[in-house]
């Protein structure tokens, strides 16, 4: 089982292609290691080594991949993409130029916090009033 720097174990299971079985099977990750590359690179690059164990045929496959550390622009862009998961947004447009990101957000014309409060009340009590329904 892979473990973190604080020695806590975690499990990872995924459907992956098994070369021995010739099909997609449930596989468990038994090793996940990140190492620096032998020569320093710009941007910073790591080598990720993973071992996957096929639960059907007991095959262990090692996967090695070079991963670059995301830039600040990529991190900001990914956070902006998660805005629609965190908030009620009708449309979200992100435009990327050389040294800038342009964000356009279209919000609904009604108060979503009020609607959420009504939904929570309905879940707790089992009913809402007509006035609350048409706010």
Report pTM: 0.52
CATH architecture of 13-68: Single Sheet (2.20)
Domain segments of the chain as ranges = 13-68, 72-133
Structure tokens at 114: 């009020």
Tell me the pLDDT tens digit for each residue of 92-116: 898 888 888 888 998 877 777 777 7
- Mind listing the pLDDT tens digit for each residue in 17-59? 999 999 999 999 988 888 888 888 888 889 999 999 998 999 9
> CB burial class (10 A; 0-12, 13-18, 19+) of residue 53?
middle
Q: In the structure, what pLDDT confidence band is assigned to residue 2 with cuts at 50, 70 and 90?
A: low
State the chain's mean pLDDT as an integer. Answer: 84
Closest C-alpha to 23, from 56, 53, 51, 64: 56
67 near 37, Cβ under 8 Å? no
Cα gap 124→128, rounded to integer Å: 10
Q: Among 24, 30, 32, which Cα is nearest to 52's?
A: 30
Helix residue ranges, H only, 46-125: 72-81, 83-86, 112-125
Query: Which tokens is 30 given?
Result: 């038994």
- DSSP conformation class of 100: -
Q: Which of 27, 43, 45 is nearest to 35 (CA)?
A: 45
């Amino acid at each position: 089982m892979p473990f973190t720097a604080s020695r806590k174990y975690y499990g990872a299971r995924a459907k992956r292609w098994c070369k021995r079985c010739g099909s997609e099977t449930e596989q468990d990750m038994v090793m996940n290691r990140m190492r620096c590359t032998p020569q320093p690179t710009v941007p910073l690059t790591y080598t990720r080594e993973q071992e996957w164990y096929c639960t059907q045929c007991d095959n262990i496959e090692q996967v090695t991949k070079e991963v670059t550390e995301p830039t600040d622009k990529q991190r900001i862009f990914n956070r902006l993409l998660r805005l629609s998961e965190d908030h009620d947004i009708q449309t979200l447009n992100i435009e990327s130029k050389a040294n800038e990101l342009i964000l356009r957000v279209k919000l609904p014309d009604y108060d979503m916090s009020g609607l959420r409060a009504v939904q929570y009340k309905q879940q707790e009590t089992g009913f809402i009033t007509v006035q609350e329904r048409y706010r």
